Amino acid sequence: MDNNFLTLHFLHDHPKVAARTLEKFELESLAAYLAQLPVREAAGVLRYLVPAIASECLETIPLEQAAAIIMHLDIDRAAALLRRIREEHREPLIRHTSTVFGNMARLVLRYPEGTIGQVMDPDVFTVHQDMRVAEVINAVRNAGELPQHEIYVINDRQQPAGIVAVKQLLTTDEMEMMKNIMRPAGQMLAARTSLSVARSSVDWEHRDSIPVVDQHGVFIGVLHRRSLTTTDPEYNTTDEYAGTALAVAELFWDTCAQLLVPVHDHDKKGS
């Protein structure tokens, strides 16, 4: 893949379109391409890649470059990708970022005990709603083992848009877009919701997993039914105070997040 002036101009002005195109390439080729791009353009594209691909790219790109790229993302997006990265790669990557960014990332990655975020599964295969069935099938093949029987579909804002059964892909026109065949994502749970609230969800009557979102509605994982059985099912008296405590934590985080506006945002404001 070329890296000339016109290419960089396109990547800078149309990162969403570029991301949809680049997702079709094999992971190794995509990671190598992102690694040779200027940091700003690489981060712009990474911001719109589906999380499953973006996180794997960060694991593949050399640490120094990966750290520079992830620091150009807003802290919520960066944290969502860091959660997907294997632990043996995550901490070295965070250590290669700035002290301020690293400390904030660790804070955001840490969910209080007794909340959904602490036991959710962040390693979930997702695709964009504008991808065609043929592209998704190819992505599934490149992903190797797919432990889930459903594929979560996300929109441009990385929010849950719907769900498609893996077996449905085999009986659907390969040129059909995912947004035309997906079913509604249904109920979603906030990562900072207490587990006692999650256990009371009526969705468990007909589902084995429920999508989990952050405070901005961004898809960050799923809560499996089996995860609830590995925690203490008895009511914890501290849960009745969880709502207030977590609300204060969210307020604290929203305030702190404003101190970490990515470099590209400053560039836009100054233009």
| Cross-strand pairs, 73 | none
Hey, what's the torsion of the CAs at 20, 44, 99, 104, to 10 degrees?
-60
* Cα 47 from Cα 128, distance rounded (Å): 13
From the number of C-beta atoms within 10 Å of its C-beta (0-12, 13-18, 19+), residue 17 rates as middle
Tell me the chain's radius of gyration from C-alpha atoms: 19
> How many CA atoms are closer than 13 Å to the CA of 118, on its beta-carbon side?
13
The DSSP element (H or E) to which 243 belongs, if any, is: helix 242-257
Supply the pTM of this predicted model.
0.68
List the chain pLDDT tens, one digit each, 271 residues. 556 788 898 999 999 999 999 988 989 999 999 999 999 999 999 999 999 899 999 999 999 999 999 999 988 889 889 989 988 999 999 999 999 999 988 888 888 888 999 889 888 889 999 999 999 988 888 776 665 788 999 999 999 999 999 889 989 999 999 999 999 999 999 999 999 999 998 889 888 999 999 988 999 999 998 888 765 444 343 443 444 445 445 545 555 555 555 555 545 444 4
Domain with CATH 3.10.580.10 in the chain: 118-229
Q: Identity (one letter) of the amino acid at 24? A: K
For 118-229, CATH gives 3.10.580.10
The DSSP element (H or E) to which 166 belongs, if any, is: helix 166-169
* The domain defined by 5-110 carries CATH number 1.25.60.10: yes
From the number of C-beta atoms within 10 Å of its C-beta (0-12, 13-18, 19+), residue 164 rates as buried
Residues ≥6 apart with Cβ < 8 Å to 182: 129, 153, 161, 162, 163, 164
Domain with CATH 1.25.60.10 in the chain: 5-110
